[in-house]
Every structure is written in structure tokens, then in C-alpha cells.
Chains A and B, each alone.
Chain A
Amino acid sequence: MGLLMRVAETGRTPVRFVLNGQALTALAGDTVLTAVLTNSAQLRNSEFSGEPRAGFCLMGACQDCWIATESGQRLRACGTLIEEGMRLVTGVEAAPRSNIGPNEMPSAGTLT
């Protein structure tokens, strides 16, 4: 069940991608966030409470929309466009907290 609802611009070229092993369709120009959340209600789980998250600010400030590819690469879903053949997985916890953020410099962030 998707979270976002398309209300315009539905005539764009379809793009095929895979989410949690399931073949799905998005539209060219969708962000990864839009592609996933028009098909599903979450992007990731909180690494602390385990609760589902689906982004919050959609403009690169909150950093709550990181999602993983099957190969383990992490993408910020609101700022990355969907590409043909992308293989994504939701519900994966983000990297362990010991690696996160500026206070652990110089390792500096995580997310790969």
C-alpha cells in the first residue's frame, strides 16, 4: 500500500525497478522516495526504536530518508532520481551509531 498519491504528471515514461525483490514500476523523473512511497509506506527503520520511517522534509535537511540498495549502497531517497533496474530494499537499519555524524570525525558520516 503506497503512501504518496499521484495527482499530476502521470504521463511520464515508466521506469522499472525492484523493491524488496518485487518488480515495480515508477515514472521517469521520480525520486527514489516517490518511486518507493507510491508503492510502499516506508523507506527504512529507525536504528533505535526499529519503527518505520518514510522521510520528513523532502529537501535534504532531515536525513530521514536514507535507503539501501541490494548491494549495500545507501542513497538519500529524496535527492536521488530513480533509475531503470535499481534494486532497493526497505526496512534495513541504517549504519551502526558509532559511525554516524560529525562527532565521530574523521570517519565522518557513514552511509556506504
Chain B
Amino acid sequence: MTALQPVIVGAGPAGVRAAQTLVAHGLRPVVVDEAPRWGGQIYRQPPAGFSRPGRTLYGFEAGRAEALHAAMADILDRVDYRPDTLVWSAEAGRLDLLSRGRTDTLPYGQLIVATGATDRVLPFPGWTLPGVYSLGAAQVALKYQGCAIGSRVVFAGTGPLLYLVAYQYAKAGAQVLAVLDTASFKDQAAALPYLLRQPAVFAKGLYYLGWLHTHGVPVHQGVRLLRATGDAQVSGLYWHDGRSEYRLPCDAVGFGYALRSETQLADLLGCRFRYNTLQRAALPECDAAGRSSVPGVYLAGDGAGIMGADAAEWAGERAALALLADAGQAVNTARAATLEKQLARTAAFRIGLERAFPFPCDWAAHAPDELVICRCEEVTAGELRQCSQDTGAREMNRLKALTRVGMGRCQGRSCGAAAAEILAHACATGPDAVGRLRGQAPIKPLPFAAMLPQDGETA
């Protein structure tokens, strides 16, 4: 057997289960995570000194959250755990790290990339105003800090998270003025046969919706978001229901359109990508076990395509088993087959979720020219359209070079999906035909000081 030097990036559901599986086979993986404590975004642990119980923080998922936290706590002495550590670049056999202001390199023999997801954002005019946050941000504020994003909050967009966050806020005592869903009742009815494949998950969704109704939170479906207004902070949200325009005075808006995979690391590692029509994004290719197109690099969890937290746990374990098997270790093949079956079932359920909360395909057509698409570099939809028209640019990296869209600090994490929609619409084609923003190092900003020779080193 070859010497194994496994590294896992990410300590959410996929990363923790992958680590646990490797440890169970006698390995000592390095686990690198940007967060100060394990759990990922969904099972994010509050800082020390917070006291709310798991039931309050994680609701129906408290059991799963606590099991995942315990799984990692159990193996802490058998992993090289590196919290507060950013992987800012990667190449074959090596990761570049930043931790507490200092850079370092980490060699790897095998790598499991479990980088998770962030909100998929389709902006509206006024989305850069203070008080307007992503849905995920609204949830982090509550779960991790015990704060609401405002005192009179509107939640908007679409996706399962929309109803969950609204429910969590109302339950925590925040005033939720309305839930504005761009999906229609018709969409949700059409999705029913798929959703019923996972009745327990479906029942939770119905519970949140029912709870909002009985607690007087208005839910409007089939809406289109028009704009947010305000000076120093947001003071109102305008929306349309297909017949009339409405204005809702508020001091905070949380919005998002499901999730997008965090794929920049897989990209830097040279993984082959393929456009996924269901997820409306280019994703790193992998087989049912999580093997990417690059030998020794495995993908697991939402970073390889949005499948949700339960599937991420299975995918993390499955990828670790693949890593072990590829290195010649004996693994439980029956367990591997079971995990693949569970993942396949989840994939069918995801089709239902995409139908219930469809991507608003007419978003780009309605986006006004003055809409800021890229909040880092403040590039508008009109500038993107003009550039495409003037130069013939039909590809995202070309558009980036010409307009700076996606070139700022966020590296397209916030604006990439929206910019691709605008370009595709301008070219009268689909988002599959405009390419994808290439990942570039550093994927997140580095301080100058970290790049200078450090103590005891010479330049």
C-alpha cells in the first residue's frame, strides 16, 4: 500500500463524515476549515459562552447536528484539525493556507474537497443597501449571534431556506412582515409526486408553511421583486404579483434563490467541469463515489452540486471509502453501495425541489440597466449588455476582462450566477452557452503582510 497523506477541506457534514471514516480505517487526516469550530454552515456552532440548546438552534435537525458535532469531537485526537484556516490556492499535491495572518503550504497525497455552498443571489435594485442580506446571512445572524437582521424583516426569493428562515425568525420573536416567493402554487403542486418520495422532508416543509399561516405571517407566491429603497439603510421593498405593484415598508430584507456550489478550489485543482441543467451551473464532474476527473481528488457535499446536508454526510463517507479503496485498503463495499443508493434517491427528490422552487428564468429579461450586478466592482446590468453588444463578448471570462464583473474580492461568488444570466439573455442564448468564471488564486483576499518574509525567514 502506498503511503497515504489525506487532507480534507471543509468541516461541515461531508468533511466530518469523511474524516470519521478515514480515522476508522486507521488514518490520520488533516482537516482544514475556515470556520473556528466544525459543523459547516448548516450545523454552525455558536462561539463559546452561548447557551441556547441544540433544539432551539437547529430545530428538527438538532439530532443530526449534535450527532455530527459529537462525531468530530470524538476523533479530534486522531486528526490534524486546522480551524480558522483558509485554503487560498491549490495545485497538484499542494494547498496554500492562510491562518491567523500567516501563510503556509500543506502537501497532500489525497484530497477530499468538501467546500459547501453559499446562497445563489439574483439581485434587485437596492440590494447593496445596509439591511439587505442573503437568506443564509439572516440565518447565521440568528444561529451564530442571537441577532435578527432587523426589527421588521421581509424574506424573499425562493427555495426551501426561504420558509425555514422565516419560521426560525418568527419563532425567535422577530417581526416577519411577509414571505415573498417567486415560485407559484402551481409550481409546488406540479412538484408533489417528486416531493412525496421523501415524506419526512416534505412534511417539515408543510409544517413551516402551516406555522407561518397560523401565526399570521403573510405568504405571497408568484411574485417578482422590483427594488428596495432607502438612504442609509433599506426602508422599503417593492414587488409585483402579476397584477399590481406593492410597497412594503421594512428595515431588513433577507433573500436568495436556493444555493450555489462553492467550486473554486476544484477549479484550481484542474477538475473537469460540466454544465448541470437542473442546478443551472457548471459543476466539477465526479462519479457516484465522489471521484473527480483528477486522480487522488475527491468531491463531497454541496460543493459538488446541491444535495442538502443529509446527502452531504453520505457523500463524505462515500468519498472517504473511495479514497481508501483506491489506495488498496479493504473497505465495506456493501456500505458503499448503500450510500450510493441513498444519494441516488436524494437526487430524485432534488428534481422535485427544483420544480417546487424553480429558478426564475425571466429574471434577466426584467433586470433594469441600472441594476448593480457585481457589488464589489459595482458593474451594472446595462454595462454588461453594452459591452456584449459593442465587443461581441459572449463568454464570461471575456466579459470579466472587459468590465471587471466578478473580478473583485468576492471573485464572482456573489455575482457570477447573475452575470451569466444577464450575458446569456443579452446573447439570446442559455447560461450553459456562456462559459463559467475561471477560479483564480487567491480565491479570497490575503493581507500584504502574509506575503512578506515571516519571522526567521529571508526573502
Q: How far is the CA of A97 from the CA of B374 in the complex (A)?
A: 15
Listed in ascending order, the chain A residues whose CB lies under 8 Å from chain B are 3-13, 28-31, 34, 38, 41-42, 46, 48-49, 51-64, 66, 74, 78-79, 81, 97, 100-103, 105-112
Q: Nearest Cβ in chain B — how far from A72, in angstroms?
A: 11
B232 pairs with A29, CB closer than 8 A: no
Q: How far is the CA of A73 from the CA of B137 in the complex (A)?
A: 25
Chain A residue at minimal CB-CB distance from B44: A59
Q: How far is the CA of A30 from the CA of B151 in the complex (A)?
A: 19
Q: How far is the CA of A29 from the CA of B36 in the complex (A)?
A: 12
Q: Which residues from 13 to 72 on chain B have a C-beta closer than 8 Å to any C-beta of chain A?
A: 34, 41, 46-52, 56
Q: How far is the CA of A42 from the CA of B381 in the complex (A)?
A: 25
Residues of B within 8 A of A10 (CB): 146
B132 pairs with A63, CB closer than 8 A: no
Chain A residue at minimal CB-CB distance from B86: A60
Q: How far is the CA of A74 from the CA of B450 in the complex (A)?
A: 13
Q: Which residues from 158 to 181 on chain B have a C-beta closer than 8 Å to any C-beta of chain A?
A: 172-174
- Beyond A46-B128, A51-B129, A61-B410: 20 further Cβ-contacts under 8 Å? A3-B131, A3-B150, A3-B251, A5-B147, A5-B151, A7-B146, A7-B147, A13-B49, A30-B145, A48-B377, A51-B128, A52-B232, A59-B118, A63-B408, A101-B411, A102-B440, A102-B442, A102-B443, A109-B444, A112-B449
Q: How far is the CA of A38 from the CA of B150 in the complex (A)?
A: 10
B375 pairs with A62, CB closer than 8 A: yes
Please tell me if B140 contacts chain A, counting CB pairs below 8 Å: yes
Chain B residue at minimal CB-CB distance from A105: B441
Q: How far is the CA of A34 from the CA of B146 in the complex (A)?
A: 10
Given A54-B130, A57-B137, A101-B407, also A63-B376 (CB < 8 A): yes
Residues of B within 8 A of A54 (CB): 130-131, 233
Q: How far is the CA of A66 from the CA of B408 in the complex (A)?
A: 13
A74 pairs with B147, CB closer than 8 A: no
A57 pairs with B445, CB closer than 8 A: no
Task: Choose among B144, B251, B409 the residue that contacts A63 (Cβ–Cβ < 8 A).
Answer: B409
A29 pairs with B150, CB closer than 8 A: no
Q: Nearest Cβ in chain A — how far from B69, in angstroms?
A: 17
Task: Choose among A5, A7, A52, A57 the residue that contacts B130 (Cβ–Cβ < 8 A).
Answer: A52
Please tell me if B134 contacts chain A, counting CB pairs below 8 Å: yes
Q: Nearest Cβ in chain A — how far from B95, in angstroms?
A: 16
Q: How far is the CA of A60 from the CA of B86 in the complex (A)?
A: 10
Please tell me if B322 contacts chain A, counting CB pairs below 8 Å: no
Given A53-B130, A57-B136, also A74-B150 (CB < 8 A): no
Count residues on chain B whose CB falls below 8 Å from chain A CBs.
62
Given A41-B233, A57-B137, A61-B118, also A9-B445 (CB < 8 A): no
Please tell me if B451 contacts chain A, counting CB pairs below 8 Å: yes
A29 pairs with B50, CB closer than 8 A: yes
A29 pairs with B47, CB closer than 8 A: yes
Q: Nearest Cβ in chain A — how far from B368, in angstroms?
A: 17
Residues of B within 8 A of A101 (CB): 407-409, 411, 445
Q: How far is the CA of A36 from the CA of B267 in the complex (A)?
A: 36
Residues of B within 8 A of A49 (CB): 378
A31 pairs with B441, CB closer than 8 A: no
Q: Nearest Cβ in chain A — how far from B232, in angstroms?
A: 5
B131 pairs with A62, CB closer than 8 A: no
Residues of A within 8 A of B146 (CB): 6-10
Q: Nearest Cβ in chain A — how far from B281, in angstroms?
A: 15
Q: Nearest Cβ in chain B — how far from A94, in angstroms?
A: 8
Residues of A within 8 A of B172 (CB): 7-8
Q: What are 20 A-B interface contacts by the 8 Å CB criterion?
A: A4-B149, A5-B149, A5-B151, A13-B49, A38-B147, A41-B233, A48-B378, A55-B137, A57-B414, A61-B414, A63-B408, A63-B445, A64-B409, A66-B445, A81-B47, A100-B408, A102-B411, A107-B448, A107-B451, A109-B445
Given A103-B440, A110-B448, also A56-B137 (CB < 8 A): yes
B148 pairs with A5, CB closer than 8 A: yes
Scoring B residues 410 to 431 as 1 if CB is less than 8 Å from chain A, else 0, what string do you get?
A: 1101100000000000000000
Residues of A within 8 A of B150 (CB): 3-5
Q: How far is the CA of A61 from the CA of B376 in the complex (A)?
A: 12
Q: Which of A4, A34, A59 has the most CB of B within 10 A?
A: A59
Residues of A within 8 A of B106 (CB): none
B134 pairs with A4, CB closer than 8 A: no
Chain B residue at minimal CB-CB distance from A8: B146
Chain A residue at minimal CB-CB distance from B256: A57
Residues of A within 8 A of B50 (CB): 9, 12, 29
Given A4-B150, A11-B51, also A59-B136 (CB < 8 A): yes
A58 pairs with B378, CB closer than 8 A: no
Q: How far is the CA of A109 from the CA of B247 in the complex (A)?
A: 40
Residues of A within 8 A of B41 (CB): 59
B145 pairs with A62, CB closer than 8 A: no
B147 pairs with A34, CB closer than 8 A: yes
Q: Which residues from 119 to 133 on chain B have a C-beta closer than 8 Å to any C-beta of chain A?
A: 119, 128-133
Chain B residue at minimal CB-CB distance from A103: B407
A9 pairs with B118, CB closer than 8 A: no
